[in-house]
Amino acid sequence: MWLTLSLLSALFLGLNEVAKKSALNSNAVIPVLAVSIWISALLFLPLQISSMAAPTWIRESAFYIPPVSAEAHWGIVLKAVIVLGSWIFGFFATKHLPLTISASIKATRPAFVVLGAVLIFGERLDATRWTGVAIVLGALAALSRLDKRDGRDDRESPRRKTLWLWFLIASTLLGAASALWDKFLIARYDRLAVQAYTCYYQSLMMIAIVMTMWYPSRKRSTPFRWRWSIFLTAVLLTAADFLYFYALSDPQALLSVVSTIRRSGVVVTFVAGALMFRERQIGTKAALLAVVLSGVALLYFG
């Protein structure tokens, strides 16, 4: 069951990347992120209100949001900070980098989850999985060099392109840290409570970020334009995370496997980048993506 949920999460996550790229095209990054988070929070409000009223039908369903302890709230706040940092870096990178590049590098996240498990939890890897880590990181380095010749705007300097690449790497590392923290939280607290309260805290944080990082200089920067792809981004990510947390809540679920399958949604994103956005060097990127996925496969089967 958890494998099926992971595959469905991967599908929604891949579609989310496509919607996100459309939402960010010639648009202001911070308000797009803020509005998508606020929409996600609004999606949880009916469930939250129904759960507080505690009717029998929702208490016995998969959509019940139970109250959590103060200790749990602190853990969820930390998750909200990590995820929000990952999203801010990731949204800027997605706007300025080709979709095929950003999707391919994000697909390396399972490798960093494995590394985190080794360094933090003392897990040991066999030779096959270490080979997978080396292959994925090597492909990441190759994609980095490729990106310098294939930025979003040819007028951007190599230094600016490299900056967006580092933003994407930071987003990927923070995302891996979030995955490790997810496993800790889901083992102790209700999965839907973790997802919902994370969204609430992020909504509050985004108010401060919008008022300090974007609103004062909004007239001198890229204007914000409402698009339905922003709404679609929120819905798809909420669905992907719902399925992801549901999968992790299974006692038999393995974080390394769930994370690996979840990132296979990069295939959906890659096809969209090639067909819809007509990005360049598709053949080279496809070859590197195959290398990335081969490394991920070694991690999966090792």
Percent of the chain at pLDDT above 90? 38
pLDDT digits (tens, 9 = 90+) for 213-224: 899 988 888 899
pLDDT (mean) for 28-49: 94
Kindly tell me if the per-residue pLDDT of 34 is higher than 60: yes
Percent of the chain at pLDDT above 70? 84
Kindly tell me if the per-residue pLDDT of 258 is higher than 60: yes
Kindly tell me if the per-residue pLDDT of 153 is higher than 70: no
Kindly tell me if the per-residue pLDDT of 21 is higher than 90: no
Between 200 and 105, the higher pLDDT residue:
200
Kindly tell me if the per-residue pLDDT of 93 is higher than 50: yes
Confidence (pTM) = 0.80
Kindly tell me if the per-residue pLDDT of 141 is higher than 90: no
pLDDT digits (tens, 9 = 90+) for 40-70: 999 999 999 999 887 677 887 889 999 999 9
What is the structure's pLDDT at 57? 78
What is the structure's pLDDT at 302? 62
pLDDT (mean) for 119-148: 70
Kindly tell me if the per-residue pLDDT of 277 is higher than 50: yes
Q: Please provide the DSSP assignment of the chain as one string.
A: -HHHHHHHHHHHHHHHHHHHHHHHTTS-HHHHHHHHHHHHHHHHHHHHHHHHH--HHHHTSTT------HHHHHHHHHHHHHHHHHHHHHHHHHHHS-HHHHHHHHTTHHHHHHHHHHHHH-----HHHHHHHHHHHHHHHHHHHHHTTS-S-TTS-HHHHHHHHHHHHHHHHHHHHHHHHHHHHHTTS-HHHHHHHHHHHHHHHHHHHIIIIIGGGGGGSPPP---HHHHHHHHHHHHHHHHHHHHHTSTT--HHHHHHHHGGGHHHHHHHHHHTS--S-HHHHHHHHHHHHHHHHHHHH-
Between 233 and 160, the higher pLDDT residue:
233
Kindly tell me if the per-residue pLDDT of 155 is higher than 60: no
Q: What confidence category does residue 152 fall into, taking pLDDT thresholds of 50, 70 and 90?
A: very low
- The region of weakest confidence among 52-66, 69-83, 97-111, 245-259 is 97-111
Q: What confidence category does residue 105 fall into, taking pLDDT thresholds of 50, 70 and 90?
A: confident
Spans of all domains in the chain? 2-301
Share the mean pLDDT of the chain.
Answer: 83
